[in-house]
């Protein structure tokens, strides 16, 4: 199914209206990325939360289950289930910290991660081609925007979690 989002061909001239339109388009893209993640997770035999946690594991080194609990807001029991499924599927392995045997690191199996990256590269080829049409200055602007957008998403998540916990 394809939903045609509101076209920006007739973008409003008023700054506030353009900000609102941009925010809407970001939400549309986020919704589509969420749906994409669900389809990809299903093809990999994972739950969507498993795939998102796997993504978090690949972004850093020496990720622990406790860090996933903090990053996701899931319970330690839920994270144990997530880690168990990801490990059974062969995408990670648990390694004990040599300095503190109580601590476990979640280490990605890069061969399996490359399989996922190959799928993403293939399915996102048109998007990557489109990004290649931007100038260096435009790409720098978009990178700055992406960084700010990410920080805003993290801050909103933390604020919502804090609001829920204090209610």
pLDDT digit of tens for each residue in the chain (167 aa)?
A: 455 555 555 667 899 999 999 999 999 999 999 999 999 999 999 999 999 999 999 999 999 999 999 988 899 999 999 999 999 999 999 999 999 989 999 999 999 999 999 999 999 999 999 999 999 999 999 999 999 998 998 888 888 888 867 76
CB atoms under 10 Å from CB of 142, counted, come to 13
pLDDT of residue 101: 87
On whether residue 50 sits in a domain, the answer given is: yes
On whether residue 85 sits in a domain, the answer given is: yes
End-to-end CA distance of the chain: 38
Orientation of helix 76-88 relative to helix 48-59, angle to 10°: 90
Find the CATH number of the domain harbouring 49. 1.10.10.10
Cβ neighbours for 7, distance < 8 A, ≥ 6 positions apart: none
Here the tokens at position 147 are 């960084």
pLDDT of residue 35: 96
pLDDT of residue 7: 55
pLDDT of residue 8: 53
Decide: 56 and 71 in contact? Cβ < 8 Å: yes
Question: What gap in Å lies between CA 40 and CA 51, rounded to an integer?
Answer: 8
On whether residue 161 sits in a domain, the answer given is: no
On whether residue 164 sits in a domain, the answer given is: no
On whether residue 165 sits in a domain, the answer given is: no
Q: Which domain holds residue 20?
A: 15-109
On whether residue 89 sits in a domain, the answer given is: yes
On whether residue 55 sits in a domain, the answer given is: yes
When divided into structural domains, the chain yields a total of 1
pLDDT of residue 10: 65
Decide: 131 and 124 in contact? Cβ < 8 Å: no
On whether residue 147 sits in a domain, the answer given is: no
């Amino acid at each position: 199914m394809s939903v045609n989002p509101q076209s920006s061909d007739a973008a409003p001239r008023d700054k506030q209206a353009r900000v609102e339109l941009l925010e809407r388009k970001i939400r549309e893209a986020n919704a589509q990325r969420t749906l994409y993640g669900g389809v990809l997770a299903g093809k990999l035999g994972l739950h969507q939360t498993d795939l998102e946690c796997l993504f978090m594991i690949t972004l850093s080194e020496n990720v622990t289950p406790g860090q996933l609990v903090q990053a996701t807001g899931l319970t330690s029991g839920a994270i144990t289930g997530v880690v168990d499924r990801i490990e059974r599927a062969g995408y990670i392995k648990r390694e004990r910290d040599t300095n503190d045997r109580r601590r476990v690191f979640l280490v990605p199996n890069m061969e399996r991660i490359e399989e996922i990256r190959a799928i993403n590269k293939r399915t996102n080829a048109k998007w990557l081609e489109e990004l290649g049409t931007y100038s260096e200055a435009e790409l720098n602007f978009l990178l700055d925007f992406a960084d700010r957008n990410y920080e805003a998403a993290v801050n909103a998540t933390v604020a919502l979690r804090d609001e829920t916990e204090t209610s």
